[in-house]
């Protein structure tokens, strides 16, 4: 039989705001649960802001190297894997 637990606070969403709130509440002594249905980090860390900026940076660097647009730098056999 499942054991039921009681919490003072349940935070829904393992995102930066969510886990910061959960950690802070635990530090203040509240019995806290953090619930995440998918991946810790949420949209920004897993699919949105961070991956997007990384891909944009890679694409920009690839384009500059391929077209010799970085002064003093030349490169051969440039490839892109994304
Ligand atoms: C491609 C892309 C690029 C972006 N770039 C930027 C940018 O450069 N700058 C910027 O400011 N914003 C950007 N954003 C927007 C930004 O990612 C979102 O505004 C932000 O992530 C929203 O945060 P949130 O905590 O409200 O929701 P989310 O990050 O979506 O988090 C919600 C979380 O709650 C969980 N959840 C939901 N319901 C439940 C449930 N019932 N039980 C358990 N868990 C649940 C979900 O699984 C998810 O992990 C971008 C978004 C995308 C898609």
List the residue whose alpha carbon is closest to atom 48 of ligand 1: 42
- 82, pLDDT greater than 80: no
The tens digit of pLDDT for each residue in 35-76 reads: 999 999 999 999 999 999 999 999 999 999 999 999 999 999
pTM above 0.95, yes or no: no
- Distance in angstroms (rounded) separating the CA atoms of residues 11 and 79: 44
Q: Give the residue from 56, 45, 48 showing the smallest Cα distance to 19.
A: 45
Closest CA to 80 of 51, 52, 63, 54: 63
For 10, list phi and psi in degrees, rounded to 5: -120, 120
CA of 21 to the centre of ligand 1 (A): 16
Q: Which atom of ligand 1 is nearest to the CA of 18?
A: 25
Q: Whose CA is nearest to atom 7 of ligand 1?
A: 49
């Amino acid at each position: 039989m499942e054991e039921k637990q009681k919490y003072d606070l349940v935070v829904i969403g393992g995102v930066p705001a969510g886990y910061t709130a959960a950690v802070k509440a635990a530090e203040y002594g509240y019995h806290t649960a953090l619930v995440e249905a998918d991946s810790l980090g949420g949209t920004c860390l897993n699919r949105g802001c961070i991956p997007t900026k990384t891909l944009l940076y890679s694409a920009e660097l690839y384009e500059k190297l391929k077209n010799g647009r970085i002064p003093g730098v030349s490169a051969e056999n440039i490839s892109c894997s994304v």
